[in-house]
Structure 1
Amino acid sequence: MECVIGVVGRDFAVVAADTSAVQSILVHKTDEDKIMLLDSHKLMGASGEPGDRVQFTEFIQKNLHLYQFRNNMPLSTAATANFTRGELATALRKNPYSVNIILAGFDEDVGASMYYIDYIATLHKIDKGAFGYGSYFCLSLMDKLYRPDMTVEEAVDLVDKCIKEIRLRLVVAPQNFAIKIVDKDGARDYGKRESVSGNPSESTTATTA
């Protein structure tokens, strides 16, 4: 029942993901961070098999650091997306990774951008997107409410609406969600949405931005 959500606004991008670690019918933990800070200005939200998700996102992060160390400059968001897509395509013919990715970043010359990359190495540049069962509800909400000139508050409010709908509609909905943002000031935590008293329709916000 994983879900990753991404929205690009005026000069920023927001990525949200559930924090549940689940196997079969068991919930092992509810504070798993599924949004990797790749570098100072890039976020990678991932869903999929836990081993593949952790190994692949760390592999991408370390390769970005290696490139920056060797060349004294970071990869752009577009270059990172194409590198990630290339690694998934290579693995697809050997030992494929079961991982779906929303990559968001901010570049000085381009601004905020976001890319959709799935487990069969499909790559698309997007303004809004979602993975997982929650995407059945999120995508329709985004089609209705999304605007490219949204402020941070409006984008987070749209994410909150998606989370509320997921909790309302899914039989087994994730309890908690983490939200991160990337803009000219860098990639960072924005807040959390946590279930209260076992009632998934209520939430508290711990905003750190």
Structure 2
Amino acid sequence: MECLLGVCCRDFVVLAADCNAGRSIFVMKQDQDKLFKLDDRLAVVVAGESGDTTPFGEFIEKNVQLYKIRHGYSLSTHSAASFVRKQLADCLRRSPYFVNMLIGGHDGYDGGAALYFMDYLATMAKVPFGAHGYGSYLSLSILDKYYREDLTEQEAIELLGKCIAEIQKRLVLNMPNFKFHVIDKDGVRVVRDTAVEMES
């Protein structure tokens, strides 16, 4: 009952997540921020079991910060995604975390932007765009049709807005609020934190 969307272009990543926090068929609140900022230019959005998403997100967040303190430099986006994948894989047969994620980051001025898709089975793939949840059934075809690597920031946000409008129009679940984050060479920032209007 959650939805994560992400688009990676040449110089930035846009991550969008719904703001619902629910249990079973009930919505507890509609202003939940599902993004964890791992570093200055690295972040992850999480969806899954509510008892797993926050503890696992905080665990990853604190361990990436600990790595930076111990070694004096930050993990690259790929290294951070590999670390997260190993943690999920290690826990898979002991006490698994039912957490799906999109990890986005920008590796300084030379490294460029990257987006990684990861599910609760520790499957990891570097992707140009990704989605999790029921909303992915409606949004992946839109992303496949309209995605270009050279999208501007505004165009990428509008593309995710198209996906969200379709989700709100077609999906029986109520997802009125989404929060958009952009990750680029300047850091992680919120670009939209309101309900997205449905297209007619």
TM-score, normalization by structure 2: 0.96
Note the residue ranges of structure 1 that are not aligned, 5 or more in a row: 203-209
Q: How does 1:91-102 map to 2 (within 5 A)?
A: 91-102=91-102
2:179 maps to which residue?
178
Tell whether the 8 Å contact from 1:13 to 1:183 is kept in structure 2 after alignment. Answer: yes
Question: Following the alignment from structure 2 to structure 1, what is the Cα–Cα distance between the partners of residues 157 and 10?
Answer: 13
How far does residue 193 in structure 1 lie from its aligned partner after superposition?
3.1
1:129 maps onto 2:126 in alignment? no
How far does residue 173 in structure 1 lie from its aligned partner after superposition?
2.6
1:3 maps to which residue?
3
Tell whether the 8 Å contact from 1:10 to 1:151 is kept in structure 2 after alignment. Answer: no
CA RMSD of aligned residues (A): 1.1
Question: Following the alignment from structure 1 to structure 2, what is the Cα–Cα distance between the partners of residues 173 and 110?
Answer: 38
How far does residue 175 in structure 1 lie from its aligned partner after superposition?
1.6
Question: Following the alignment from structure 2 to structure 1, what is the Cα–Cα distance between the partners of residues 125 and 35?
Answer: 19
Question: Following the alignment from structure 1 to structure 2, what is the Cα–Cα distance between the partners of residues 63 and 172?
Answer: 35
How far does residue 23 in structure 1 lie from its aligned partner after superposition?
1.0
Tell whether the 8 Å contact from 1:166 to 1:173 is kept in structure 2 after alignment. Answer: no
1:38 maps to which residue?
38
Amino acid at match of 1:40: D
Question: Residue by residue, what CA displacement relative to the aligned partner does 1:132-172 show, whole Å, maximum 9, x if unpaired?
Answer: 00000110000100001100000000010011000001011
Q: How does 1:6-85 map to 2 (within 5 A)?
A: 6-85=6-85
Question: Residue by residue, what CA displacement relative to the aligned partner does 1:184-203 show, whole Å, maximum 9, x if unpaired?
Answer: 001111112316xxxx737x
Amino acid at match of 1:114: L
Tell whether the 8 Å contact from 2:23 to 2:50 is kept in structure 1 after alignment. Answer: no
Question: Following the alignment from structure 1 to structure 2, what is the Cα–Cα distance between the partners of residues 20 and 57?
Answer: 17
1:145 maps to which residue?
146
| Pairs aligned (count) | 198
Note the residue ranges of structure 2 that are not aligned, 5 or more in a row: none
TM-score, normalization by structure 1: 0.92
Amino acid at match of 2:145: K
Amino acid at match of 2:144: D
